[in-house]
Amino acid sequence: MMPEHHCRHLPIECKHLLLRDFRRSDLAQFAAYRANPDIARYQGWEDFHIGDAEEFFAIQLPLRFGVAGSWYQVAIASLETDRMIGDCVIHFTGDETQVEIGFTLAPEAHGRGFAFEAVSALIELVFNTLGKQRIIAITHAHNDAAGRLLTRLGFDQCEHASEGADPERLHTLHRNQWEAAINTN
């Protein structure tokens, strides 16, 4: 049986959060917030059940961090309680210089600075530890909160990634932009 922590870069301890590998004990919470219509409307699903969470976990468990083409999901947990409050993902696109990231938080975690803290830690991992040069993030065009967060973190909104029923926006952050921003703060 594979150990629950199988990424050598995790866990990452932040001020209020812990970014760590998923655990089987996270699945009920994971399914609950992903089933919330206010969360699902900005994602690629309409509903999410415990069976979906179990299938996700079975696919995720054997994945190795950093493998080209893989989407490596990371749990966002309260540092105080270790209860999962969201998740983020790193998509290793196959381009050695860049990754794609994404994030989802449970509704009760919104508006508390947790997304900023988690994504900031993810950016540090990508640039400082993995040595990547560019991060992309694609958000639903109507998810203004995600767009504002990415702008606050230094991302540029480049273009509409897609139009239609589920329009998306592409955001990019280059390593030199991020380094300049942190050196001025």
pLDDT for res 101:
98
Using the structure block, give the residue that is written with the tokens 């998923």: 22
Residue type, 74: V
Of 47, 48, 2, nearest to 24 by C-alpha is: 2
User: Would you state the pLDDT for residue 30?
Assistant: 97
pLDDT at 11: 95
> What was the pLDDT predicted at 17?
98
Provide the pLDDT for residue 90.
97
Q: What's residue 184's pLDDT?
A: 72
HEC-encoded secondary structure of the chain: CCCCCCCCCCCEECCCEEEECCCHHHHHHHHHHHHCHHHHCCCCCCCCCHHHHHHHHHHHCCCCCCCCCCEEEEEEEECCCCCEEEEEEEECCCCCCEEEEEEEECHHHCCCCHHHHHHHHHHHHHHHHCCCCEEEEEEECCCHHHHHHHHHCCCEEEEEEECCCCCEEEEEEEHHHHHHHHHHC
Residue whose tokens read 């206010």: 38
Low-confidence ranges of the chain (pLDDT < 50): 1-3, 5
Pick the CATH number of 12-184 from 3.40.630.30, 3.30.9.10, 3.10.180.10, 3.90.870.10: 3.40.630.30
Output the pLDDT for position 3.
44
CA separation (Å) from 47 to 13, 50, 86? 31, 10, 17
